[in-house]
Each structure stands twice: as structure tokens, then as C-alpha cells.
Structure 1
């Protein structure tokens, strides 16, 4: 049985979000295990540039609406030249073109990764993509897996929840020194303590709920809020205005995006992630930022939605709250800070969960098992 593979990843995305980082990190892991990786993405994107600088074979395909015929022909030629064992597509536009091209050129194993939780309609084209052109589907949360199974009547061995795995740092800063360093960077008293948020700052992420929760308990705890991540100017302005109107403006700090987030998780007394639902649909898969915090032994509080409930077992690995109820969140923040023994037990359970199931190594091993499963299925077909 083949032990090494040539793997092609495609994406039409042009940013540097979790999807693109997942492709890059997974590719580096596979390369380190001896596999060959080829990445197909629009030219000039962060993934294109980083992959090329790393030394991967990279092909630029636009994946734009009016270039689909040209892209299809280009992809067929790439697959003929590269002769990959596996194709993994990651977004709608590239899946619609790359999967048919891969089937036409005989790519043996075709995988579609679904990174978001938006509903997928049972249309003719989607049935073709999910039922005829793919051998396996990867999702980033159990919710998405269950949704797709229901829509397309997929069997258990056709679809797998495959959240992105974190890359643990070699060392973690001592919590007390990390907290003091953050206080110093923000020109605050060295004794200042923090509640943290890290992720994309948008209305969907319900950061306003965190601010409203702090307002309710600001007289009971001395904590400030440190908010990491990028957001649109309008959204940031609204949140800053809200903090001022709530009377907590001096306690809310917008730090921006950081390449190295680990010291911040160590500095927080707890991390809150509060995404809501959009039209009653969870917004995302298992959040990487939450996994990183859990590995950092940072107590976590998350809303009862999306992939958060895949990893936070209430009162065991963290606490879950209703994203529409700031009072519910406020009570859980107080509980986390006041009940040290129970919090430390949750922290221990959370870190062990991530260490065993949600690292890049665990993710990579699971993906390799799927590759080998496909080889076994093909071998059995030839034996019949």
C-alpha cells in the first residue's frame, strides 16, 4: 500500500483567514512527513506568496466567474502534468471547477473541505458536487457534518468532521509574567487583570455582549477587557462608542491583530468567544482561537453555538452561555474568577482534550487515515 502521497489543494479565497492558514499548515505538516504538496490559488494572494516562498509547487488560477472555462482547461492540464493521488478543494468556486477537472483526468481521490456552516441547498449542481464528484467530505464541525448528511443522505464513511489543528508553541510564558507584560504594554498598573477576546471583530461575533456583561459586574471585579483581532473601522467605532456609553471605556482595550497570540492567552484570567447565529444557523466550525486558549490553560467561556459546543462541554472543559443574554455571561465570568478549584479542573480537562485530539499532529494523522481508507476501498474493488 502506498505510504507517501502527492496532494493538491485548491482555494479561490484571497485572504489569510483560518481556511488559508489551515491549507498552509496542513501542507507543511504533510511535507515534513515525506508527502508532496501542490497548491493552486489565485496569484498574488497571501497563500500563493507564502507557499511559493516555502518552496511548494504553486499554480496561479484565478477562479473568477468569467474565467471558468479557461480555468477548467488550465486545471486539467495541471492535473495531467502533476499526476496527484489526492485533490482537496476548499471553497465553492474552486470546487465547482477543480472537481470535474480532476474526475475527467482521473485523479484517484477527490475531497471537498467545507469550512463554514452556511446551509447547502439540495440543488442538481450541489448533488453532483457532493455525491458524484467527491469521494470524501471534510467539515470543521459536527453541526456541518450533520447538516450535509441530512441534505445529501451521506453515509458515515463519506463525511468526516476534521477541525483545524493548532500548532502548539515549544514554550508557554508563565502566566504572571505574561499578565504583567500585557499591563505594561497598555500602560496600566502591574496588578491589572484581564478578560480576553481574540478573533475577527464583527457584529456576528457579538463582542458587544462581552462589553455589556462587564458593565453588569464592573463593581465586583477589577478586570479590563483586551480585544485582539481585526475589524472594520465602522464596527470598531461602534464598539468603542458602546464601551464609552456603558461607562467602561477606560477598561476596554483594542489591541489589533497579533502574529503571536500565545502570551495573551496566558495573560487572560478567562477568554470569551461569543459568536451568535445568523438566521438560526451557526456561523463557523471549531474556532482555532478557542483551541489555542484551551491549550494555553486559559479558562474559556463560549456561546452555545457553532463548533464551540464540539469542544466546550459545559462545566467540564469550559462554560457555555446564551449569546443573547449578557447577564448569563456575566454570571459565568464571576463563577470562573471566584471558584478557582472548579476553574482549574476545567482548564486541565480542556488542555488534555486539545492535546489529544486537536493539534496539527492529530489532524494530520486523521487525514492520512482517510487517504489510506480510500486506497483500501480501491484495492477491494479490484479484488472483486
Structure 2
């Protein structure tokens, strides 16, 4: 039997999924990829990559062009399966595939995104539009994968899934061996401290986009409160700002907190950087899937303070594998950061438990096996039902994935 062909479509950060795709290829799938990101990492990995431009924010003309480009790509490649990530793509791809009954679409909901993380008039106005589009897209989606239970419950409650199957597969998977190799071969903590001018300061680190929805203003307020009580602490902010458009915090907002706050922009050596952190703070107000940055910090055994938001609560169990605080509560975040800095023994125990959780529940091998089970099931159903199968093969009960088996 010919190896099933999987086309995986993602956004600008799609290259993070290369280890996932390589593992699927090793497991017997033919792999192609498409998206809005840099093609060179895919080319270096030996994965056929097809650039598709689509705007991150609302742009009807760009979205229509992307829809046509995806439809043409599916027609050219004729994959058995199309896997999509990204809020917008989870709507566009099923519509693009609806004329290809033999192509099965798997959509992964990796968070609810900007629409539900922002209370602007535009976001509020677009929410009912999105729900309607998602219900329509579900007609041509074979399986919807959720990364956390909150999002799964939200979609079920609002009847945004139903025709196809839906499963829970926590996170996108962390390649533990690759992460540890990057940490070991990257710059040493001493070298990073020297080049960043940190000296012997205690370091609180975050890795995220420098936007308001990611909670950066609240973290800056927390940093000021910590500075009043522990003036030797430095906050290191890792992640892009200039590319984040109107939602980005300004450089002036960050500069007001110099020198105890240092923004170093996006970095490719995050595994090594995390070895410098005494505490990892994750102040997000964004409706995440399961944040990769949080998983990597946990794998590095960093003591974590995170907000009580969907996705974060899947990684951090309060007072067991870190601390959880309400979003937009800089006072309590500052208190928890200071608690971790004061009691290093307790902080280290929290970090060890978080690392073990990632190794057990979020490692790449487990995640790939769960996705492969979904894909294999769809391919078997498609073969059994033949080319005349309905557009959603999961209308047949035997084709529906086992939610408990995949998610627990």
C-alpha cells in the first residue's frame, strides 16, 4: 500500500513543527508542508515546502487569495490528509478542500487567538462571524484536535464541532532530545550572563511576543514591584516586538523600567537562555493552546509563575509544578516571584515536577503517536468506504476517534 500523503499547513511559526513532521515521516507518512513562514528550514530538513501568503489579521482580499491558493495546492498535490494549524487556516483550509471528497482535513485548535483575547470593538463584532464560519468549516473537517480541555468545551458548547470527530491531544509535542542538545551546545550560563550584562543578578525571564494580550504591561508592573523589594533582580524579556503591529507594547514602556528590565528580542538559543533563569514568568492574557514557551521552561525545570489561563493550567498545577495567578494581577505575580526567589529549595522541587510532567505527557514521541492514530484511522476509513465516501467520513461511527484514548 502506498504511504499516505500528509500536507501540513501553518502560519509564520510553522518551522517549530519540523520535528513533528520528521517523526511522522519516519513513521511511514509522505510529508509536504505549506505556510507563510520561511521555507529554508523545511528545505534543510528535506521537506517539500509550498509558500502561501495570508495576513495575520482581518484582510478579506488576502484571505480570498489564500483560499484559492490552498485549493489549487490541494488539487495539485492530491494528499490523503491535510493538517492545519492557526485560527484563520482552520477556517480557510476546510473550505479550500470541500471540492476534494477524498482529502480528509484535520484541524488543530491551538488556542482561541486574538478574537477571544482582545476586547476591542472589532474583535467583539467578529466573534459571531467566526463562530458561524467555524460551524460551516466543520462540515468539511474530518477531525478537530484540541490542545486543551477548555477550548474543547468551548467549541462543543457553541456547537462549533459536531459533524466530524473531535479529540484532545495536549500540546504540539516537545522534542526532548533536541531541546537538551540545544541547551548543552549553546552558550554557557556564564557566557550569557556576561554578554547580556546580568552579572550575578537573580533573573526572571519570559519568552513570548511583546504584546498587550501576552500580558507584558502587567509583567512590567510586577517587575517594578519586585524591584522595590529586591533591587538586584533583573527581568529578561525574550521575543519579538517590532513585528507585532498595533498590539505591541512600545519601546518607551519597556525603557521606563530600565535597567532592571532588559528586552533582548527574538532569540534562537532559548534552551540555553533558560538555564540562566531563576524564575520563569508567563503573564499571558491570551487564549493559548498549550504554550510552547511554557513547555520549554518546564522542561528546563524553571520554577514557573503563570496566569490561570487555558493551556497554562494544563502545564502548571498551582503549588505543585509552579504557581498560578489571575491574569492582570501584577501584585500577586510579584508576590509569587519573590516567594520563589526566597525559597530556592521549594522552587527547585516545583521545577522538577514540571519537567517530569512534560517528559511524561508532552514529549514529541507521545504526541506523534496520537496524531498518527488519528491519521491512520482516517486513511483506513477512506480506503474502506472508497472514493464515494461522504465528505466527512466520520459520519460513520466506526471512523470516529477514541477521545479518551488519545487525550489521556
Match status 1:59 vs 2:50: yes
Judge conservation of contact 2:205–2:235 (CA < 8 Å) in 1.
yes
After superposition, the C-alpha distances for 1:12-62 in whole angstroms (9 at most, x for unaligned) are: x4x3x3xx2344342222223332112233xxx434343244332333445
Q: Give distance in 1, aligned partners of 2:216 and 2:63.
A: 39
Q: Give distance in 1, aligned partners of 2:63 and 2:211.
A: 32
Judge conservation of contact 1:301–1:332 (CA < 8 Å) in 2.
yes
Residues 284/70 of structure 1: CA separation in 2 closer, same or farther (3 Å cut):
closer
Q: More displaced, 91-100 or 141-150?
A: 91-100
* 1:94 Cα deviation after fit: 4.5
Match of 1:213 in 2: 222
Match of 2:234 in 1: 224
Residues 370/194 of structure 1: CA separation in 2 closer, same or farther (3 Å cut):
same
Q: Give distance in 1, aligned partners of 2:183 and 2:46.
A: 32
Q: Give distance in 2, aligned partners of 1:173 and 1:8.
A: 31
Match status 1:115 vs 2:110: yes
Judge conservation of contact 1:22–1:164 (CA < 8 Å) in 2.
no
Residues 265/195 of structure 1: CA separation in 2 closer, same or farther (3 Å cut):
same
Q: Secondary structure at the match of 1:152?
A: coil
Match of 1:301 in 2: 305
Residues 210/80 of structure 1: CA separation in 2 closer, same or farther (3 Å cut):
closer
Of 15, 21, 25, which aligns to 1:27?
Answer: 21
CA RMSD between the two structures: 3.2
Residues 141/179 of structure 1: CA separation in 2 closer, same or farther (3 Å cut):
same
Instruction: State the number of aligned residues.
Output: 361
Judge conservation of contact 1:195–1:269 (CA < 8 Å) in 2.
yes
Match status 1:160 vs 2:168: yes
Q: Give distance in 1, aligned partners of 2:165 and 2:293.
A: 29
Q: Give distance in 2, aligned partners of 1:92 and 1:214.
A: 32
- 1:94-243 equivalences under 5 Å are 94-117=89-112, 118=115, 121=128, 124-130=132-138, 132-152=139-159, 154=161, 157-168=165-176, 169-171=179-181, 178-189=188-199, 191-218=200-227, 220-221=229-230, 222-232=232-242, 235-243=249-257
After superposition, the C-alpha distances for 1:200-247 in whole angstroms (9 at most, x for unaligned) are: 11122222323322332335433211111111397242333431xxxx
Residues 294/97 of structure 1: CA separation in 2 closer, same or farther (3 Å cut):
closer
Q: Secondary structure at the match of 2:171?
A: coil
* 1:100 Cα deviation after fit: 4.0
TM-score by length of 1: 0.81
Residues 188/7 of structure 1: CA separation in 2 closer, same or farther (3 Å cut):
closer
Q: Give distance in 1, aligned partners of 2:341 and 2:362.
A: 26
Q: Secondary structure at the match of 1:158?
A: strand
Q: Give distance in 1, aligned partners of 2:84 and 2:183.
A: 37
Judge conservation of contact 1:179–1:268 (CA < 8 Å) in 2.
no
Q: Give distance in 1, aligned partners of 2:297 and 2:161.
A: 33
Structure 2: 5+ residue stretches without partners: 117-126, 387-395, 399-408
Structure 1: 5+ residue stretches without partners: 244-248, 277-281
* 1:267 Cα deviation after fit: 0.8
TM-score by length of 2: 0.77
* 1:162 Cα deviation after fit: 4.1
Match of 1:39 in 2: 33
Bigger relative contact order (CA 8 A; separation at least 6) = 2
